[in-house]
């Protein structure tokens, strides 16, 4: 049975890149059927992206629809979601859709940065490793794509005086060879260090758990999650 990959698209100029990323993700996991959920289209803008869509189901949300509820309902029935990295130009509906995808569907979400229209990722993968439920929920659905990766790097934050972790059994049991890289946790922003190390390693995909500490929007995101969502320049697979 093939996986269902739901693309949530707001800005028309981002649709082609998101669809390309979803199709590539489908190939990495074996087989994936792409569905496209379009937020309210702008006047005069064609509802479909300029790509071949004979095998794609397309839904268009009407003006005034409850975007968050629609994304939650459709996303919770999918295996993966694909969304664009947020930017200052995004409208309220797009932001609500992003938050719903990440925090209300309980599904892995692939966040694609602006300007990334190639759909190519998964050859050199970095994993922000923490031995907790959020990280495992993000990692387990990605195991199929790791088997074909050229390089898998575990980026583990370790405080001074603490023993470094070992490669987690879930990777060993699935035959995934990974190299552990210990990153010191200090006074600086760990999210910035994480992104810097991923860039140094040439990673084209980052896998990590997403953390929320409060339902209030201004206090919603954990520090590392907030940094990654704001500054990541590579695709990121997250799961809350």
Closest CA to 139 of 118, 151, 150, 154: 154
What pLDDT does residue 51 have?
Answer: 47
Residue 196 phi, psi (nearest 5): -60, -45
* pTM metric for this prediction: 0.89
The yes-or-no verdict on residue 172 having pLDDT over 80 is: yes
CATH fold for the domain made of 124-239: Rossmann fold (3.40.50)
Total number of residues shown for the chain: 240
Distances (CA, A) of 218 to 104, 109, 163: 17, 21, 34
Could you report the per-residue pLDDT of 126-161, keeping only the tens digit for each? 999 988 888 899 999 999 999 889 999 999 988 888
Pick the range with the lowest mean pLDDT from 14-18, 30-34, 60-64, 203-207: 60-64
Secondary structure (3-state) at 101 = helix
Name the average pLDDT for the chain.
86
Q: Do the domains 124-239 and 3-112 match in fold?
A: yes
**66-92: pLDDT as tens digits:** 999 999 999 999 999 999 999 888 888
pLDDT > 70? residue 204: yes
For residue 212, which phi and psi values (nearest 5 degrees)? -130, 140
So where are the chain's domains? Answer: 3-112, 124-239
What is the fold of 3-112?
Rossmann fold (3.40.50)
Tell me the two tokens of residue 37. Answer: 């959920």
Q: What are phi and psi of 138, to 5 degrees?
A: -80, -35
DSSP codes, 33-72: EEEEEEPSPPTT--SS-SS--TT-EEEEPPTT--HHHHHH
- The CA-CA-CA angle for residues 1, 207, 109, to 5°, reads 55
In angstroms and rounded to an integer, the radius of gyration of the C-alpha atoms of the chain is 18
Integer CA distances (angstroms), 82 to 85, 101, 156, 170, in order:
10, 9, 26, 25
* 3 state DSSP class of 16: helix
């Amino acid at each position: 049975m093939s996986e269902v990959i739901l693309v949530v698209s707001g800005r028309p100029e981002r649709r082609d890149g998101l669809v390309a990323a979803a199709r590539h993700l489908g190939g990495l996991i074996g087989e994936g059927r792409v569905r496209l959920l379009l937020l309210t289209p702008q006047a005069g803008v064609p509802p479909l992206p300029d790509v071949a869509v004979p095998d794609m189901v397309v839904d268009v949300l009407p003006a005034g629809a409850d975007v968050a509820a629609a994304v939650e309902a459709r996303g919770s029935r999918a295996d993966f979601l694909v969304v664009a990295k947020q930017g200052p130009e995004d409208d309220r509906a797009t932001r609500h859709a992003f938050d719903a995808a990440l925090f209300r569907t309980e599904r892995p979400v692939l966040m694609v940065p602006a300007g990334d229209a190639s759909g190519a990722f998964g050859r050199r993968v970095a994993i922000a490793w923490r031995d907790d439920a959020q990280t495992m929920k993000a990692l387990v659905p990605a195991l199929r794509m790791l088997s074909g990766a050229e390089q898998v790097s575990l980026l583990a934050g370790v405080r001074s005086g603490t023993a470094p972790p070992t490669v987690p059994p879930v990777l060993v049991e699935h035959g995934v060879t990974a190299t552990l890289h210990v990153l010191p946790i200090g006074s600086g922003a760990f999210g910035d260090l994480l992104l810097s190390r991923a860039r140094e390693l040439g990673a084209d995909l980052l896998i990590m758990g997403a953390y929320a500490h409060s339902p209030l929007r201004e206090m919603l995101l954990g520090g590392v999650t907030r940094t990654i969502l704001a500054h990541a320049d590579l695709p990121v697979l997250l799961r809350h």
